[in-house]
Structure 1
Amino acid sequence: MVVKETERLYKSYLNITNSRWEYGNSVLYRMCEEEPEHKQIDVIVGKIWLIGRSYAAAIERRKNAVVVGDDFYYDVVAPKLLEIGSELDDRITRLRKSKGLVLDDIKLVLSTHKFLMDIFYELTGLEKRSLASKYLHFHCPEKFFIYDSRARVGIGKLVKRPNKEILTDVSDYDPEYGDFVCRVLELQEYLDEQLGVYELPRKLDGFLLTAIK
C-alpha cells in the first residue's frame, strides 16, 4: 500500500534540479556498457573497485581479513569472479537483451542478485546485499533497483505492507532484497497509474533518497 503523501513528495522531487553525481554515474554506466563481461582480471578489478568505492559498498570491508590491500582484489576477488564469470555474463546478457519490464524478468533479476550476493559472502563473510544490487544495476540499469540503508528507509516510508504475491513463484532470492523490490515495484506502478510516469530504477533511487529528508 502506497501512502497518500507519495504523490506530493514526488511532485516536489520533480521540482528539484540537481545534477550532482550525474557525470560520475555516467562514467560507471559507460564502463559497464563497454566492458560488461568478466573475462579479464584488470577489467573485473576496475569495475568492482570503482562501483564499490563510489557507492560506499567496498568489497574489501569484510570479516577476518587475511589478504589486505590491492592483493585482496587481485588475488581473491578477481579470480573468483573470473571463475564464475561465464554464468554471471550469461545472466547479465539475458537481462540486457530482454525488452520486458522488471516484473517480466523478476525470477532472473532476483536469482541473479542472490547468486552474486552469495559469491560476495563467500569472499567476505558478509551479506553484501547493497554491493550486489549496485554492481548489477550498472550492468543492467533498467532491471536492478539500488538497495542500501537509505533507500530501505525511504521505501519503508512510502510503501506499507507490500504485496509479495510475485515472490511465490521465485525459488531463489534474498528475502530482504525481495521485499525491497516488491515495495519499489508497487511505487513504480503507483506513479505510472496516478501520474502517468514510468520511472526507471535510477530516477526512483533519487526519489527514495529525498523521501528520507
Structure 2
Amino acid sequence: MIHRLPTKQVARSVGLLPQAPVAPQGLTVADLVARGRFPHRRLFDSWSPEDETALEEALAATGTGELRDRQVDELSGGQRQRVWIAMALAQRTPVLLLDEPTTHLDIAHQLEVLELLAELNRVQQRTVVMVLHDLNEAARYGHHLIAMRAGRIVAAGPPETVVTTETVRTVFGIDSHILTDPATGGPLVVPVATRTTPTVAPAEEPAR
C-alpha cells in the first residue's frame, strides 16, 4: 500500500498539486520549480546537471521560462498555476494528481491550464488525474471520468457514458439537458433551473 512507502519514494512516483498551494513570500519562480527536485536528492547533495535539465524542461513545458526570476506572489493567477505545475513536472513523475487546478481562475486562465495539462498528457504521456467540479470541463478534457457523491462512486467510464441526465440528477440533484459540444463532439451539460413563483400579496389600498 502507498501509505507504507517512504515519503520520498512516493514523491518520485506521484506529483501532487493541492487546491490552493502557497509559496513562501519572496520566493522566485526558479526556486519554487527547483523544489520539485527534492525527492531525487539526498540531504547534502549539490545541484546536479540532471536537476538543471529537469528544471529547464519543466519551465519550457509550461511556458514559464521568462518568469524564472520573478517572485511567485507577483504573478497572475494563471501564471502562478502554471508555475506550480512546472514544480510538479520537475519531479519527473509518471503520474500527476491535481486537486481543482482551475479554482479561482477566470475562464481564460482555466482554459490555459487545462490545455497545458492536456498537452502534457498527449506529448509526454503523463497520467493526469484531476478533481473538477465543472462537468463540462471534465467532459471536454477527461478520457475517463469518475462521478462521486458522498464518497461513493456513482458512475465511471468515458464521458459519453458518465455525463447523463441520470448521473447529473444523482450527483447534483438537478435536472439537465445533455447536448453535443460543438467544439469536441462530446457531451455538454445544460442545467435546467427549477423556479417557483412566489406568492405576492396585493398591496393594500391606502385608507381614506
Taking structure 1 as the reference length, the TM-score comes to 0.32
Larger helix share, 1 or 2: 1
The structure with the largest strand share of the pair is: 2
| Larger relative contact order (CA 8 Å, sep ≥ 6) | 1
Larger radius of gyration: 2
